[in-house]
Structure 1
Amino acid sequence: MEKVRISKLMSERGLCSRREADAYIERGWVRVDGVVVSELGARAFPDQAITLERAAQARQTSRVTILINKPVGYVSGQAEKGYTPAVALIDARSRYAGDREPRRFERGHLDGLAVAGRLDIDSQGLLVLTQDGRIAKHLIGEDSSVDKEYLVRVQGGLSENGLALLNHGLSLDGKALKPAQVRWQNNDQLRFVLREGKKRQIRRMCELVGLKVVGLKRVRIGRVSLGDLPLGQWRYLREDERF
């Protein structure tokens, strides 16, 4: 049995992200079989016990995750081509009045926010920004199994067997897509449930079967729904919510 970097083991076990693991190790907040480890790049056997000191646990607890109902025209991440990033929507005035999370908004809650599942500029709906590397990994890591649900308004004529192909049988960039759940919601709207998120995936899938997307809204990520969060407003992920 070979030793593995402790930061890698911590990430695989869902304790934190690799970057967070390195920061905790530097501070002496990580123990392997009860012994403090403070050397970056240190390794351990995969069957050894790894625990976090209370200071690291407290830091994780203080990290926030924010849910935004992103409007069309905002980019998910960094500002580009003159467009405004969704994080610019987050301030005390735009917080949802129905937010039941008791914490007060602080400017520090904007530090280090990472987008956990992008939503393109032409789409709206549920966008997750988080300071917690565990949540980001859970939602967008290579082995993530969290599904995402979309309402998609379309135009055009669906090709023969098109609905079946949307569910399973299409390929993008030379790679077969994972099975999806796609059904008609009404005469001009489809409901998609996906477990992957290639760039502009739904729009490209629809094009392959003769449809053009004219409106796309993400309404759910895992067990967390957009609900009645108003367009352009945000709220905190509650302590009792899990994706």
Structure 2
Amino acid sequence: MIKPSKSTLSVKTTFKKPPVPEGERLSKHVAHLVPCSRREAEQYIEGGWVRVNGQVVEEPMARVLDQVVQIDPQASLMGLSDVTLLLNKPAGFDSMAAPGEAGKRLKPAHQLLQSTNHWAQDPSGVRQLKRHLARLTACVPLELAATGLVVFTQDWRVLRKLTEDAAFMEHEFLVEVAGEVSPDMLQRMNTGLNHQGQALPPVKVSINSTSGATTRLRVAIKGAHPGLIAYLCERVDLHINSMKRLRIGRVALSNLPEGQWRYLQEGERF
């Protein structure tokens, strides 16, 4: 009787699973449906005009197998312009830091630009898309402890305007200080401004409102000059309780809630 060898006994039969079909890239599928070029198909998808099984999909790289793909009858490539976002920055957030710089001691204001923080009463009427929250550039600095209007844009024209015309664009602040502000203090804050022999940018300081314990000042300055308002208050022995930027050029913060953002409207110009 012949006994099977050890090698024969150890052999096991294995079966390879058939490869799972990966499907077709959504952009290619849409290009066939429309029909259109692959680039145009990507724009339809990024524009939020394509639904897969009833759900909007904005990623051209997504793959479809047997799902139902539909193109919105109102689909258009005309509205894919770059956007500008206005954020009401809370205190403690860095207006110019990049998202990748976040850490224990640094909180970029950029990280607040999420869909959940989009102001529900945004008057722009712009359809929010994922592409609107990418490639955003911070434009104008604001003190870490201050709140108020900061700007992020994808639009090179807006970036150029805020950069090239920075020295001529007026910024308006509401500054609350402790105590009363006398006429003499107000005059000293408005005239003869210099620091270490260097002339400072002209400012316009006026009293907005006052109570027994605090005074609210309106401060208008040409250009962004972090630290200037603090210097003006220090030279007349005023302690700042809070500071909020209300306006940059002709664009105002208005009723935008703190920590939320909205789109720059079509008719708004800095």
Whether TM-score is above 0.5 comes out as yes
Structure 1 equivalent of residue 184 of structure 2? 161
Q: Map 1:197-212; keep pairs closer than 5 Å.
A: 197-212=224-239
| Match 1:151 to one of 174, 189, 194 | 174
CA deviations on 1:25-80 (whole Å, 9 max, x unpaired) are: xxxxxxxxxxxxxxxxxxxxxxxxxxxxxxxxx99x71111001111121102146
Query: In the alignment, residue 191 of structure 1 is paired with which amino acid?
Result: R
Compute the displacement of 1:204 (Å): 1.5
SS at match of 2:132: helix
Query: In the alignment, residue 194 of structure 2 is paired with which amino acid?
Result: S
Q: Which runs of 5+ in 2 are unaligned?
A: 1-76
SS at match of 1:73: coil
SS at match of 1:191: strand
Structure 2 equivalent of residue 179 of structure 1? 202
SS at match of 1:76: coil
Compute the displacement of 1:227 (Å): 0.8
Q: TM-score under structure 1 normalisation?
A: 0.68
| Match 1:221 to one of 244, 248, 251 | 248
CA distance in 2, matches of 1:230, 1:87: 16
Q: TM-score under structure 2 normalisation?
A: 0.62
CA deviations on 1:171-215 (whole Å, 9 max, x unpaired) are: 236421122111111221110011022222111121112112110
Matched, 1:118 2:141: yes
SS at match of 1:186: strand
Aligned residues: 186
| Match 1:98 to one of 121, 125, 129 | 121
Q: Which runs of 5+ in 1 are unaligned?
A: 1-57
Contact 2:88 2:261 in 1 (8 A): yes
Contact 1:100 1:238 in 2 (8 A): yes
CA distance in 2, matches of 1:142, 1:95: 28
Query: In the alignment, residue 72 of structure 1 is paired with which amino acid?
Result: A
Compute the displacement of 1:234 (Å): 0.4
CA deviations on 1:136-195 (whole Å, 9 max, x unpaired) are: 232243664111110001125758833123223212364211221111112211100110
Q: 1:89 to 1:202 in 2, by over 3 A?
A: same
Matched, 1:194 2:221: yes
CA distance in 1, matches of 2:134, 2:265: 19
CA distance in 1, matches of 2:104, 2:184: 39
The answer to which of 113-122 and 130-139 deviates more is: 130-139
Q: Map 1:1-243; keep pairs closer than 5 Å.
A: 62-78=81-97, 79=102, 82-141=105-164, 144-155=167-178, 161-172=184-195, 174-187=197-210, 188-243=215-270
Structure 2 equivalent of residue 22 of structure 1? none
Compute the displacement of 1:104 (Å): 2.5
Percentage of pairs with the same residue: 38
Q: 1:108 to 1:168 in 2, by over 3 A?
A: farther
Q: 1:80 to 1:120 in 2, by over 3 A?
A: farther
